[in-house]
Amino acid sequence: MTPQRVTLITLGVADLERSKAFYGAMGWRPAREMPGEVVFYQINGMALGFFGLASLARDQGRPDAKLGTGATTLAQNFTTKTEVDAAYALALRSGATALKAPEKVFWGGYSGYYADPDGHVWEVAHNPFWELNADGSLTLPAHAD
Amino acid sequence: MTPQRVTLITLGVADLERSKAFYGAMGWRPAREMPGEVVFYQINGMALGFFGLASLARDQGRPDAKLGTGATTLAQNFTTKTEVDAAYALALRSGATALKAPEKVFWGGYSGYYADPDGHVWEVAHNPFWELNADGSLTLPAHAD
């Protein structure tokens, strides 16, 4: 049995310095770095890293693969709609591409999407049914039976 | 400033039941589900969800987008190489596509890659420089200065 665990999210990018500048403009600070090779950020419960697209394809054992984005999204949940709007606006000011401005959505929450400079898709959301832990992590509520 | 936080990883998939069967064969158990719509698993510090590809594209505000995979990878770190081999073998038995069998890699660790039935890329790795917390989460070691 394989544990329900992720220890590292890696985003393949065209230009590490551009990625550092984009996430840095949103306030992110790297925890570890091999300049020109890889940059790691500490997030809740795991690391998030940036790695060159060609290096990532080689590492995956398929150096000629054209790696794609969009089918994986990373969501940041916030405790208020105001915070969602602020995070979305900050991302656009930092150079993100707008996909969908935050709006009320069918499941009862409030959500928007943007893409980072490499097309990696981020959701910013408020879900009134999911309360965040004090450290910003998320424990799914138990089934309502 | 936007917190260094991810609360939900969403993987867009062609067939929710196929995804449930694949991850279920590896031992994963859903925490919440809206049958035919979305399935959520609890992982360390956040949720991981599966959502239809067309629904995800619509949700992103670009219903006609062809969403891609591969430029985002999710890694599971293990404390031994034996566990890496076992997780890789279990994934293949569960229907994963082999990308790279686990092998020693240049950064001093041991790593392999497989793709799930929708092409989402998972890495299984042992990194002797990254010690896992007791709960399987990862706190990056401090800079060695």
From the list B9, B28, B42, which residue is nearest A140 (CB)? Answer: B42
Per-residue pLDDT of chain B (145 residues; tens, 9 = 90+): 899 999 999 999 999 999 999 999 999 999 999 999 999 999 999 999 999 999 999 999 999 999 999 999 999 999 999 999 999 999 999 999 999 999 999 889 999 999 999 999 999 999 999 999 999 999 998 765 4
pLDDT digits over A30-74, tens only? 999 999 999 999 999 999 999 999 999 999 999 999 999 999 999
Helix (H) or strand (E) holding B102: strand B97-104
Buried b (16+ CB within 10 A) or exposed e, A67-82: bbbbbbbbbbbbeebe
CATH superfamily for B1-67 is 2,3-Dihydroxybiphenyl 1,2-Dioxygenase, domain 1 (3.10.180.10)
Find residues 106-145 of chain A whose CB sits inside 8 Å of chain B. Answer: 111, 113, 118-121, 123, 125, 130, 132, 136-141, 143
- A111 contact residues in B (CB cutoff 8 A): 59
* Entry pTM: 0.96
The CATH number of B69-145 is 3.10.180.10
pLDDT at A143: 64
Rounded CA-CA distance A45/B40 in Å is 17
Domains B1-67 and B69-145 share a fold: yes
pLDDT digits over A12-32, tens only? 999 999 999 999 999 999 999
**What are the domain boundaries of chain B?**
1-67, 69-145
Mean pLDDT of A99-128: 97
Domain A1-62, second-level architecture? Roll (3.10)
Which residues on adjacent β-strands are paired with residue A13? A52
Rounded CA-CA distance B124/A18 in Å is 28
Neighbours of B76 (CB within 10 A): 22
> Does A145 score more than 60 pLDDT?
no
Rounded CA-CA distance B138/A111 in Å is 28
Rounded CA-CA distance B142/B145 in Å is 9
Which of A1, A2, A50, A84 to mutate to test binding with chain B, by most B CBs within 10 Å of its CB? A2
Rounded CA-CA distance A112/A98 in Å is 9
Residue A69 identity (one-letter amino acid): T
> Does A10 score more than 90 pLDDT?
yes
Contact B119, B73 (CB under 8 A): no
CATH superfamily for A70-145 is 2,3-Dihydroxybiphenyl 1,2-Dioxygenase, domain 1 (3.10.180.10)
pLDDT digits over B34-45, tens only? 999 999 999 999
> ipTM value of the model?
0.95
pLDDT band with cut points at 50, 70 and 90 for residue A77: very high
